[in-house]
Amino acid sequence: MSGQSDFGMVGLGTMGRSLLLNIADHGFAVAGLDTDAVKAEALRTEGAKRGAQGFTDPKEFVGALRKPRAVMILVPAGAPVDSVIGSLGPLLEPGDLLIDGGNSFFKDTNRRGADLIARGIGFIGLGVSGGESGARHGPSMTGGGEVADYERVRGLLEAVAAKANGEPCVALLGPGSAGHYVKMVHNGIEYGIMQLISEVYDLMKRGLRMSNSEIGDVFGEWNTGDLESFLIEITADVLRYPDENGGSLVDAISDKAKQKGTGKWSSQDAMDLGIPIPTIDLAVNARELSALKDERVRASKALTGPEPGTPHSADVCDLAEGALILAILSTYSQGFSQLAAASDEYGYGLNLERVASVWRAGCIIRARSLESIRQAFATDPELPNLMLSPAVAGVFDRRQSQLRAVLREMIGRGLPAPALSASLAYLDGYRSATLPTNLIQAQRDLFGAHTYERIDKEGSFHTKWQSE
Point out which residues bind ligand 6PG (CB under 6 A): 103, 129-131, 187, 190, 258-260, 262-263, 363-364
**Catalytic site residue 205?**
no
Report helix, strand or coil for 72.
Answer: strand
Which of 183, 264, 321, 353 is the catalytic position? 183
The minimum distance between CB 146 and ligand 6PG, in angstroms, equals 24
Length of the chain as a residue count: 468
125, containing H or E segment: strand 122-129
Backbone φ, ψ for residue 131 (5° rounding): 65, -165
Pick 32 or 192: Cβ nearer ligand 6PG: 192
Pairing of the two strands 170-174 and 140-144: parallel
| Angle 275-279-285 from CA coordinates, rounded to 5° | 105
How buried is residue 61: exposed, middle or buried, by Cβ count under 10 Å (0-12/13-18/19+)? buried
The minimum distance between CB 365 and ligand 6PG, in angstroms, equals 8
Q: Which residue is nearest to ligand 6PG (CB)?
A: 129
Dihedral angle computed from the Cα positions of residues 329, 333, 335 and 340, in that order, rounded to the nearest 10 degrees: 160
Report helix, strand or coil for 55.
Answer: strand
Pick 69 or 360: Cβ nearer ligand 6PG: 360
Pick 289 or 388: Cβ nearer ligand 6PG: 289
The minimum distance between CB 76 and ligand 6PG, in angstroms, equals 10
Which of 39, 190, 199, 353 is the catalytic position? 190
The minimum distance between CB 257 and ligand 6PG, in angstroms, equals 8
Pick 186 or 374: Cβ nearer ligand 6PG: 186
DSSP 338-370: HHHHHHHHHT----HHHHHHHTTSSSTT-BTHH
The minimum distance between CB 128 and ligand 6PG, in angstroms, equals 7
The minimum distance between CB 360 and ligand 6PG, in angstroms, equals 14
CA neighbor of 30 nearest in space, from 41, 42, 44: 44
CB 61 within 8 A of CB 87: no
d(CA 110, CA 342): 14
Pick 130 or 179: Cβ nearer ligand 6PG: 130
Non-local (6+) Cβ contacts of 295 within 8 A are none
CA distances from 228 to 47, 110, 368, 420 (A): 34, 36, 6, 19
**Catalytic site residue 183?**
yes
The type of residue at 162 is A
Pick 263 or 276: Cβ nearer ligand 6PG: 263
Q: Catalytic residue numbers?
A: 183, 190
